[in-house]
């Protein structure tokens, strides 16, 4: 197995007749999925998703792939293939189309409907090409065949990309539920046919590669939900991903069976379920879904609320309910169902919400105490089965953290893929398929691009470090007026602290140290304000560290007169 090296340089020019595969997100992380394929000077992109921030990224709304490596080649892009409609695969599309709005989007009916609704909010009208399983489309030099795969959202597709350099298959996210709610199976005969033709490089979903066996069928959840509905005395509040149509269908079926009405809460939930219903992916009995404004007219034991916030997102409806910052107030006897998995990194936020809901008297049902979620990603048993069908000549695990990628690589090796033909890459690592062999060629820039409100890319790692310091250690400001000629103090120093846990009066001890440092600098002829600020920062920082073992942000202000 080949491994990336931090000292990798930029990849050389792609040899004629070669195919280059460059992941810009989704490797070493769960989210931000984006892969660029290059052949003959033309580019094809598969997916363009977002990553959701963790606690050490305060104030960040979304994290995008880094488009810098393709920014000067936007005219070379023949299309963006979207495998399915989850945010970690389509959420970055508006930001890429801001740079060139006429790049064609290629995907299934539901996937395109979801991204078109999102783009409408950004005032972008995309050029789209709707495809379905079994279709083949020529996209520049890329001959794309689309294959049905089963996932936790309808209409998911894998894509086989044929070029003169060979055939690459990108699975997207998939599993092998043999009893899917919508009857749409992962098309194993199609993958077997591609395997017989010869898959030169397989890019395979790695998320559950560490999990043994097979993922349970989605329909197993229905009986658990019925049990919860049968015992619930008051309102039932369900938190789910706003795109998990299959899970919402099960909630609607249970609500209908137990004589409850359903209201959707949250803009994305209302929008996505409206789209799914209009396109026929969500079956809604007449009169079942009502507007949230009409809930006051219904008794508590006839209400089901479906909202976002299953990952503990601070601004989502469920988190706000837990914090008593929402029009819907949790009361004793309410039942809350978290019908989703825990995305790695979100555990603390989710348990904080669970504790908040429990505090107000809710009975919280989640994956830890009931079977209210099954994964949308193939486990190890399914992946082994899949590799034996596909017989890939080269394998590149994608969509997963490092432990997932490595586990997936081991599964490929067990099924007979030669270890020197298994490429474990990371974001930005270019992999070239030349003469039937996939090898790492170099590395391009593929860092995080932060979205903070309306700003995209303006927040840097340095900015985040400052935010973390401010949040964890507070700030100490020092104000001094000095004579511009002599450098001597004419007013101050005045010291104030916020969030540092140190009383302003305690800084009386450090003022002589500041005065001493500035007197010494004046004697040495140092009068430049920036240098004086550095002296103050060092004097105050050393005193705070020695006295309190803390490292707040020190903000010196020097005014010349």
Using the 8-state DSSP alphabet, how is residue 553 labeled? E
- Residue 121, burial from CB neighbour count under 10 angstroms (0-12, 13-18, 19+): exposed
Annotated ligand binding at 376? The verdict is yes
- Residue 134, burial from CB neighbour count under 10 angstroms (0-12, 13-18, 19+): exposed
Instruction: Tell me the C-alpha distance between 438 and 420, whole Å.
Output: 9
Instruction: Tell me the C-alpha distance between 271 and 243, whole Å.
Output: 10
Annotated ligand binding at 373? The verdict is yes
DSSP string covering 479-512, please? EEEE-TTT--EEEEEEEEEESSS--GGGGGGTHH
- What six digits make up the tokens of 493? 């120093």
Specify the long-range contacts of residues 405-414, CB closer than 8 Å, at least 24 apart. Answer: 405/27, 405/28, 405/206, 405/209, 407/206, 407/209, 407/210, 407/380, 408/204, 408/206, 408/209, 408/383, 409/1, 411/209, 411/380, 411/383, 411/384, 411/387, 412/204, 412/387, 413/1, 414/384
Which candidate, 112, 107, 47, places its Cα nearest to that of 279? 112
Annotated ligand binding at 375? The verdict is yes
Instruction: Tell me the C-alpha distance between 298 and 431, whole Å.
Output: 59
Instruction: Tell me the C-alpha distance between 433 and 411, whole Å.
Output: 21
Which candidate, 520, 498, 511, places its Cα nearest to that of 543? 511
Instruction: Tell me the C-alpha distance between 497 and 475, whole Å.
Output: 6
What is the number of other CB atoms lying within 10 angstroms of the CB of residue 457? 15
Are residues 398 and 205 in contact, defined by beta-carbon separation less than 8 angstroms? yes
Instruction: Tell me the C-alpha distance between 5 and 430, whole Å.
Output: 12
Instruction: Tell me the C-alpha distance between 281 and 243, whole Å.
Output: 11
Binding-site residue positions: 373-377
Binding-site residue positions for substrate: 373-377
């Amino acid at each position: 197995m080949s491994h990336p090296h931090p000292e990798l340089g930029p990849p050389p020019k792609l040899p004629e007749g070669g195919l280059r595969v460059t992941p810009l997100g989704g490797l070493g992380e769960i989210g931000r999925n984006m892969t660029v394929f290059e052949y003959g000077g033309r580019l094809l992109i598969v997916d363009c998703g977002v990553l959701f921030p963790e606690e050490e990224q305060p104030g960040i709304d979304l994290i995008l792939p880094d488009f810098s490596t393709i920014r000067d080649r936007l005219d070379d892009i023949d299309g963006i293939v979207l495998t399915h409609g989850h945010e970690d695969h389509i959420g970055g599309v508006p930001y890429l189309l801001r740079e060139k709005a006429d790049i064609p989007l290629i995907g299934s009916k539901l996937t395109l409907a979801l991204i078109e609704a999102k783009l409408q909010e950004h005032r972008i009208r995309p050029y789209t090409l709707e495809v379905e399983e079994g279709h083949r489309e020529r996209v520049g030099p890329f001959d794309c065949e689309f294959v049905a795969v089963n996932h936790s959202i309808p209409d998911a597709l894998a894509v086989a990309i044929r070029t003169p350099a060979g055939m690459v298959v990108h699975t997207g996210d998939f599993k092998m539920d043999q009893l899917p709610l919508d009857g749409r199976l992962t098309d194993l005969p199609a993958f077997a046919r591609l395997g017989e033709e010869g898959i030169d490089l397989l890019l395979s979903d790695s998320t559950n590669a560490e999990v043994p066996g097979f993922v349970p069928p989605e329909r197993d959840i229905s009986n658990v939900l019925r049990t919860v509905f049968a015992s619930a005395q008051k309102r039932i509040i369900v938190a789910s991903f706003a795109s998990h149509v299959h899970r919402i269908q099960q909630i609607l079926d249970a609500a209908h069976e137990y004589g409850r009405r359903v209201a959707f809460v949250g803009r994305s939930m209302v929008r996505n379920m409206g789209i799914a219903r209009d396109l026929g992916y969500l079956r809604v009995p007449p009169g079942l879904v009502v507007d949230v404004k009409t809930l006051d007219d219904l008794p508590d034991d006839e209400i089901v609320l479906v909202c976002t916030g299953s990952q503990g997102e601070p601004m989502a409806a469920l988190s706000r309910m837990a914090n008593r910052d929402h029009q819907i107030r949790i009361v004793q006897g309410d039942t809350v169902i978290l019908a989703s998995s825990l995305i790695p990194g979100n555990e603390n936020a989710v348990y904080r919400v669970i504790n908040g809901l429990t505090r107000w008297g809710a009975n919280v049902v989640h994956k830890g105490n009931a079977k209210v979620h099954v994964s949308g990603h193939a486990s190890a048993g399914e992946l082994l089965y899949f590799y034996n069908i596909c017989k890939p000549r080269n394998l590149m695990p994608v969509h997963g953290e490092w432990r997932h990628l490595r586990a997936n690589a081991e599964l490929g090796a067990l099924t007979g893929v030669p270890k020197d033909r298994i490429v474990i890459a990371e974001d930005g690592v270019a992999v070239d398929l030349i003469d039937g062999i996939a090898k790492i060629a170099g590395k391009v820039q593929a860092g995080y691009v932060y979205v903070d409100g309306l700003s995209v890319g303006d927040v840097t790692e340095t900015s985040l470090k400052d935010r973390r310091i401010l949040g964890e250690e507070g700030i100490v400001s020092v104000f001094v007026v000095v004579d511009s000629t002599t450098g001597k103090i004419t007013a101050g120093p005045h010291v104030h602290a916020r969030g540092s846990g140190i009383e302003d009066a305690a800084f009386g001890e450090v003022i002589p140290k500041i005065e001493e440092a500035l007197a010494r600098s004046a004697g040495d002829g140092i009068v430049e304000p920036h240098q004086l600020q550095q002296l103050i920062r060092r004097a105050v920082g050393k005193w705070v560290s020695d006295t309190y073992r803390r490292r707040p942000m020190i903000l010196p202000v020097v005014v010349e007169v």
